[in-house]
Amino acid sequence: MPMTHPLKTPQALSAAVLMARVPLGVFFLMAGYLKLAKTGADTFVQEHIKAAERFMSPGMGSAFLHTLPYVEMIVGVALIVGIFTRVAAAISSLMLLSFIIAVTGIAFDASGSKGSTPISPNVIYFGLSLLLMTTGGGEMTVDHTFKKSPPGPAKK
């Protein structure tokens, strides 16, 4: 009987997805929290309304920026515990895409100067969120705990 490669097991995939999910969730949770605790919602909106108004009406931009910290925190918690993981990852992907388009860009910088990155961290987070959106959260999630068995004959 051939031995299964230990990294090709469902448990290994779940552990790997967990190690991608939790830091991304913490990133979103802390980003939202810091916007409210350090900056304050109104100051955050005032600082970023010009960038938002390039893509949407002032009212819509203000509403987006006022709700953004709360959505970031909700998405962060959902990713950390693994509840509605694919939906949370889809929302995080859309948020990250909006950040890339409106604020950071892809930011390719090959100069090597201190603090420069060859690619914006948001692009990396975007890739992680797309991965989670397609793979789901794995077995180490609240989603998996409450997952119902598929209908059909009982397995023996």
pLDDT at residue 6, rounded to an integer: 74
pLDDT at residue 155, rounded to an integer: 53
Q: What number is the average pLDDT over the span 145-155? A: 63
For residue 28, name the pLDDT band (cuts at 50, 70, 90).
Answer: very high
Residue 51, pLDDT > 90, answer no
CA–CA distances in Å: residue 123 to residues 26, 99, 132: 17, 9, 14
Residue listed under structure tokens 């990250």? 96
How many of the other CB atoms lie within 10 Å of CB of 10?
9
Mean pLDDT of the chain, nearest integer: 86
What b/e readout covers 113-138, taking b as 16+ CB neighbours within 10 angstroms? eeeeeeebebbebbebbbbbbebbbb
Phi then psi dihedrals of residue 150, to 5 deg: -65, 145
Question: For residue 29, what are the contacts with CB-CB under 8 A and spacing of at least 6?
Answer: 72, 73, 76, 77, 80
Closest by CA to 91, choosing from 129, 62, 120, is: 129
pLDDT at residue 7, rounded to an integer: 79
pLDDT at residue 140, rounded to an integer: 87
**79-112 pLDDT, tens digit each:** 999 999 999 999 999 999 998 888 877 766 656 5
Statement: the pTM of the whole predicted model exceeds 0.75? yes
**125-139 pLDDT, tens digit each:** 999 999 999 998 888
Return the minimum-mean-pLDDT range out of 11-15, 65-69, 78-82, 102-106.
102-106
